[in-house]
Amino acid sequence: MKKLQVIILFATATIFIASCVQTENNKDADNKGSLSTEEIKKDTVPVKTEISYSEIIEKSSDDYLLRVTTEDASKYVDKAGKTIIGENDYLMCLTDTFRNYALVLSQEKGFIAINRDKKIIYDLFVFDNGPDYTSEGLFRIMKNKKIGYADSITGKIVIEPEYQGAYPFENEKAQVTVKCKTINDQEHTTWESDSWIYIDKTGKIINE
């Protein structure tokens, strides 16, 4: 039954890709109507139209770890229940399903993001005594005491840490500054600066 499902998945994926390629080819033909022969040849890129069986299996397989929490500890286990990251490795595991990265609390480093090899990817920006909240798909991170932004799905850094002050994204933009004065009022941290700018989700400056 599983073999039949994989065959059906393979056929469906192949048909879908072939239709996408045909659509793109039609668009390219329309766009190249006014180009010279040399320009068309230069612009032509080979398109992969088939997916191998191994690629389908790889894309359809789920590789993840699950968080298991007891009264005073937490750990990560694989689908077979085998412990991969033990209860003594971190004070707290925060991510429920560990795919590409996980947020954990380290005794030495505080709140950090780790990969599957338990290597630190970056420190987490702390807000309200915990890791920063995700806002519009991004959350704040720290490196060398500078603030940047990472993608909440993949964990990848999308805006390199280079700001002394940086607020969460709102309406597709964030207010940041490379130079500011940090003010602590015991409960919260605020920044004062004369050089605030707005950036988009690629880090590009937005003119307000």
Domain ranges of the chain: 2-60, 63-121
User: Given pLDDT bands bounded at 50, 70 and 90, which one contains residue 71?
Assistant: confident
Q: What is the DSSP letter of 194?
A: S
Average pLDDT over residues 196-206: 97
pLDDT tens for each residue of 143-188: 999 999 999 999 999 999 999 999 999 999 999 999 999 988 777 7
Query: Would you state the pLDDT for residue 122?
Result: 97
Radius of gyration of the chain (CA): 23
What does the pLDDT read at residue 55?
Answer: 42
Asked if residue 97 has pLDDT above 80, the reply is: yes
Residue type, 53: Y
How would CATH label the architecture of 63-121?
A: Beta Barrel (2.40)
Residue 195 burial by CB count (10 A; 0-12/13-18/19+): exposed, middle or buried? exposed
> Full-prediction pTM beyond 0.85?
no
